[in-house]
Amino acid sequence: MKYVAIIRQVPDGESKIKVEGGQVDLSGTTMILDQMDEYAVEEIIRLKEQHDGEAVVVAFGPERTEEAMRTALAMGADRGVLITAAGYVDPITQAAALAKVLAEEAPDVVFTGGQQADWDSQALGAATAEALGWPVITWTTAFELEDGKAKATHDLDEGAEVVRVELPAVFTAQQGLNEPRYPTLPGIMKAKKKEIKKIDAAELGVGGSKVEIVEQRIMELERKGKVIDGTKEPAAAAAELVKLLHEEAKVL
């Protein structure tokens, strides 16, 4: 069997974001493998460890995405395919390009992160599934292979459900699915020798982005920051708080 994780490189959530000329400027920002994609990478490595086969990471993004791909390889994925493109390309257009590569790779199972830490998008997994004519299961918290099909638990708007899915299919991962391993130093050294095939997005004959980012700015929400000391008289503090919420904030 073949398992694919679609990954992305995003800014480390702990690092500051800056905006230059109305666009987010990532120069100097620490970039990491998207934490949501880590669940996807971990899952395909586990599948490979349990059932044999090949674990492949695929990405669409700028050249620097290779760093995140090396991290996935250092965790234990076998090889990578990187579709390179500069600048913002919307997930629907990305999906068309990824589908061309995936159709050729012909995996049985594809995982990707449930939400992207840069564009806050949840679309890539579902759009890629559509481009391939495969089903998608979003927000997967449990996954197992069973008689050539997959059995998965995933979250809905309220509650969750268990589904059986014909393969090949796309799954989006979330916390709870597994506990991603750290890459290891021997893994990092081995990853150096693993293959990363690069394909220019232009060669895949996919059009330009359907969505344009016109302007970006940092959100600063001013908070009031009123703090009441409730260490000595908790009941009085609670009364004051509820009064403030009722009379000043007018939300209760």
**Residue 202 DSSP label:** G
Longest dimension (CA), the chain: 69
One residue of 105, 122, 194, 199 binding another protein per CB under 8 A:
122
150 vs 132: CA distance, rounded Å: 18
30 vs 49: CA distance, rounded Å: 31
Smallest gap from Cβ 227 to another protein, in A, equals 4
Q: Which is nearer to another protein, 13 or 49 (CB)?
A: 13
**Among 56-64, 100-108, 196-204, 243-251, which window interacts with another protein (CB under 8 A)?**
243-251
User: CA 180 from chain center: how many Å?
Assistant: 13
Binding mask 38-57 toward another protein (x if CB under 8 A, else -) reads: --------------------
Q: Is the peptide bond before 11 cis (omega within 30 degrees of 0)?
A: no
Q: Which is nearer to another protein, 202 or 252 (CB)?
A: 252
One residue of 49, 144, 166, 203 binding another protein per CB under 8 A:
166
Q: Cα–Cα distances in Å, from 152 out to 5, 144, 169, 213? A: 16, 6, 11, 35
For residue 198, state whether it binds another protein (rule: CB under 8 A).
Answer: no
One residue of 104, 120, 147, 200 binding another protein per CB under 8 A:
120
Contact indicator for 102, 199 with CB cutoff of 8 Å: no
Smallest gap from Cβ 165 to another protein, in A, equals 5
- Taking the C-alpha atoms of 70, 72, 78 and 79 in order, what is their torsion angle to the nearest 10 degrees? -50
Contact indicator for 77, 44 with CB cutoff of 8 Å: yes
Residue 159 Ramachandran class (φ > 0 left, ψ -120 to 50 alpha, else beta): left
**Among 46-54, 79-87, 102-110, 154-162, which window interacts with another protein (CB under 8 A)?**
154-162
One residue of 52, 104, 157, 200 binding another protein per CB under 8 A:
157
Helix (H) or strand (E) holding 95: helix 91-105
Q: Which is nearer to another protein, 197 or 210 (CB)?
A: 210
Q: Which is nearer to another protein, 105 or 240 (CB)?
A: 240
**Among 1-9, 47-55, 79-87, 235-243, which window interacts with another protein (CB under 8 A)?**
235-243
For residue 74, state whether it binds another protein (rule: CB under 8 A).
Answer: yes
For residue 184, state whether it binds another protein (rule: CB under 8 A).
Answer: yes
3-state secondary structure of 246: helix
For residue 218, state whether it binds another protein (rule: CB under 8 A).
Answer: yes
For residue 235, state whether it binds another protein (rule: CB under 8 A).
Answer: yes
Smallest gap from Cβ 52 to another protein, in A, equals 23
Residue 232 Ramachandran class (φ > 0 left, ψ -120 to 50 alpha, else beta): alpha
